C-alpha cells in the first residue's frame, strides 16, 4: 500500500470484509464498505466500523467517485456489476488475502500456503500442529480460522494459510515460502465459468512460491507444477527422489534430505494419521512437505500428527450398532470428496444426495460400485444419483427417501441399517451440498449422528 491516504472500497461486510476494513482504517486509509444485505448483524458491524471512521453504505450502491482500490469478499463473483465497473474504470480489484500480503511489515512471518478441491482444512490444521510441535508460534489463517489480514502483524513465527479458489482468483503477488495444491477436481464452476479458470485460480498459489508442493497422484496438481523447477511431490506410493511418500507402513521424506538420490528420512507411521483413510494420508504428506520446507524436524512431524484433532464431520466414526459401523463424512460435499471417502471402506451402504451443483456423478458411482452393498438417497438431486446407480451399479439395492422434514434423516438411517450386514460401514458421504435441507454440512452431519444414536438406543 502507498504511504499516502487513498480511497479504498471494501465490497461485503462479512468476516473477511470487516477485517479488511478494520485493517485499512488502522493504517489511516479512507474506507467505504458497500453491503447489499441490511440486517441486524450487518448494522451491528457497521456501528463498530463507524467508530473507526469507516462508512458503510447499504443497498446496491455504485462505485464511489475517486476510488483507488477495491477489496472484494471471496463470495462476490467476477461478473458482479460493481466489480465489472471497477475493472472498466481502471480500479484495481484485489481480495482480503492479497491485501494482507501487501500490508505485511518486515520482518514478516513467512507463509506456508495450500489449496485444493478437498482436504484443505484438514491439511492446514495438520500443518499447524506440526509447526507447533516444533516449537513455532503458528496459526491457521485464510479460508479457516483467523482472517489473514488480522494475523499478518501478529506474534507469529509462521502462518499456515488455507486458500480457496475464490481467494486465489483475486490474488496476484503472493509469494509464500512454500505453496501446495492438494488436488483439483470440478467444483465451483458456476463461479469461475469453466474448469480451466478454476484450475488457473488454484495455480496462482505456485506462481511466487519458493517451493512448489504437488500431488504426484493427481494429474491436475502435477500438471500445474510442471513449469517450476523447485517442486516437491507427495504420493501414496514409494517416493522417488524429490518426493514424500509411503514405504510399507511408514511416511518417508526423499526431498528434504541431504542426498535425495540415495537416502530417505522416516517421518511417522501410518497409524499416526487419524482418522485413517488414504486421502487423509495424502493430506498428512502434503502438510509434512510444507512443514519440512520450513525446516520442521521429523520428530515434530510425528508428534504434530499424533496431537492433531480432526474437525467434525470428516470421516468421523459415530457408533457401531449390531456389528455395523456408522461414519459421518458430511463434509464430502462434492463427488471428488465422496470418492475419497468411499475408497476408505471395503463394504459400504452409502448415504448420498443434496445439491450436486451440476457436478457429474458417473465416475464416482462407477469407481465405487464394487464396494457398494446398498445406497440410500435424500435431497434435491437424489434422482441424478439414482440414475447413475442404475447405469453403473444396477445390482445395488437403492432406497429413495423423499421429503424435507426433520424426520428424513431418521428414515434414512433406518433404511441404511436395514440394508447393512455385519462388517459393513454405513457412510454419510453425500457428494453434494447441504443447503437444500440443512443449514450447513455440519447440521446435516449432526442430524445423522442423532439418528444413529436413536437407532442404537432401540
**Which residue numbers belong to the known binding site?**
116-122
- For residue 178, give the 3-state DSSP assignment: strand
Q: What is the spatial distance between Cα 335 and Cα 339, in angstroms, rounded to a whole number?
A: 6
Q: What is the spatial distance between Cα 374 and Cα 427, in angstroms, rounded to a whole number?
A: 10
Which of 151, 144, 184 has the alpha carbon at shortest distance from 167? 144
- For residue 26, give the 3-state DSSP assignment: helix
* Torsion 370-375-379-381 (CA) sign: positive
Q: Are 333 and 300 in contact (CB under 8 A)?
A: no
Q: What is the spatial distance between Cα 334 and Cα 356, in angstroms, rounded to a whole number?
A: 7
Compute how many other C-beta atoms are within 10 angstroms of the C-beta atom of residue 41. 10
What is the DSSP-derived secondary structure letter of residue 238? P
Q: Which three cell numbers stand for residue 437?
A: 435441507
Q: What is the spatial distance between Cα 278 and Cα 380, in angstroms, rounded to a whole number?
A: 30
Classify residue 45 by burial, with Cβ atoms within 10 Å: 0-12, 13-18, 19+. Answer: buried
Phi, psi of 58 (to 5 degrees): -100, 160
Q: Are 213 and 289 in contact (CB under 8 A)?
A: yes
Binding residues for ATP: 116-122
Q: Which residue(s) pair with 252 in the sheet?
A: 245, 266
Q: What is the spatial distance between Cα 92 and Cα 31, in angstroms, rounded to a whole number?
A: 15
Which of 183, 160, 145 has the alpha carbon at shortest distance from 337? 183
Amino acid at each position: 500500500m502507498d504511504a499516502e491516504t487513498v480511497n479504498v472500497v471494501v465490497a461485503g461486510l462479512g468476516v473477511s470484509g470487516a477485517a479488511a476494513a478494520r485493517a485499512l482504517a488502522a493504517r489511516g486509509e479512507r474506507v467505504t464498505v458497500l453491503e447489499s444485505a441490511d440486517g441486524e448483524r450487518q448494522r451491528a458491524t457497521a456501528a463498530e466500523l463507524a467508530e473507526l471512521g469507516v462508512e458503510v453504505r447499504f443497498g446496491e450502491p455504485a462505485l464511489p467517485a475517486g476510488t483507488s482500490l477495491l477489496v472484494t469478499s471471496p463470495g462476490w463473483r467476477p461478473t458482479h456489476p460493481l466489480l465489472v465497473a471497477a475493472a472498466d474504470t481502471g480500479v484495481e480489484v484485489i481480495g482480503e488475502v492479497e491485501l494482507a500480503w501487501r500490508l505485511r511489515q518486515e520482518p514478516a512471518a513467512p507463509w506456508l500456503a495450500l489449496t485444493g478441491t478437498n482436504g484443505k482444512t484438514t491439511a492446514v490444521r495438520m500443518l499447524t500442529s506440526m509447526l507447533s510441535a516444533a516449537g513455532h508460534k503458528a496459526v491457521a489463517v485464510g479460508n479457516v480460522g483467523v482472517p489473514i489480514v488480522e494475523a499478518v502483524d501478529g506474534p507469529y513465527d509462521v502462518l499456515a494459510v488455507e486458500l480457496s479458489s475464490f481467494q486465489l482468483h483475486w490474488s496476484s503477488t503472493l509469494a509464500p515460502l512454500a505453496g501446495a495444491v492438494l488436488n483439483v477436481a470440478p467444483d465451483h464452476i458456476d463461479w469461475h465459468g469453466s474448469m480451466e479458470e478454476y484450475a488457473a485460480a488454484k495455480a496462482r498459489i505456485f506462481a511466487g512460491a519458493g517451493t512448489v508442493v504437488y500431488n504426484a497422484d493427481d494429474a491436475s496438481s502435477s500438471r500445474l507444477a510442471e513449469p517450476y523447477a523447485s517442486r516437491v511431490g507427495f504420493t501414496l506410493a514409494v517416493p522417488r527422489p524429490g518426493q514424500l511418500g509411503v514405504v510399507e507402513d511408514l511416511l518417508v521424506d526423499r526431498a528434504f534430505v541431504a542426498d535425495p538420490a540415495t537416502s530417505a528420512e522416516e517421518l511417522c507411521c501410518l497409524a499416526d494419521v487419524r482418522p485413517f483413510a488414504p486421502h487423509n494420508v495424502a493430506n498428512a504428506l502434503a502438510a509434512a512437505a510444507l512443514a519440512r520446507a520450513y525446516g520442521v524436524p521429523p520428530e515434530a512431524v510425528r508428534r504434530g500428527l499424533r496431537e492433531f484433532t480432526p474437525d467434525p464431520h470428516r470421516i468421523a466414526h459415530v457408533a457401531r450398532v449390531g456389528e455395523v459401523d456408522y461414519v459421518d463424512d458430511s463434509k464430502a460435499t462434492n463427488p471428488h470428496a465422496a470418492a475419497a471417502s468411499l475408497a476408505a471402506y471395503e463394504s459400504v451402504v452409502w448415504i448420498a444426495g443434496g445439491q450436486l451443483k451440476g457436478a457429474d456423478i458417473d465416475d464416482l458411482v462407477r469407481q465405487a460400485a464394487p464396494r457398494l452393498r446398498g445406497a440410500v438417497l435424500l435431497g434435491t438431486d437424489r434422482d441424478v444419483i439414482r440414475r447413475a446407480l442404475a447405469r453403473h451399479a444396477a445390482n445395488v439395492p437403492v432406497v429413495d427417501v423423499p421429503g424435507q422434514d426433520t424426520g428424513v434423516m431418521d428414515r434414512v438411517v433406518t433404511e441404511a441399517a436395514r440394508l447393512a450386514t455385519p462388517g459393513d460401514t454405513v457412510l454419510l458421504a453425500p457428494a453434494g451440498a447441504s443447503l437444500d435441507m440443512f443449514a450447513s454440512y455440519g447440521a446435516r452431519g449432526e442430524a445423522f449422528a442423532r439418528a444413529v444414536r436413536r437407532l442404537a438406543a432401540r
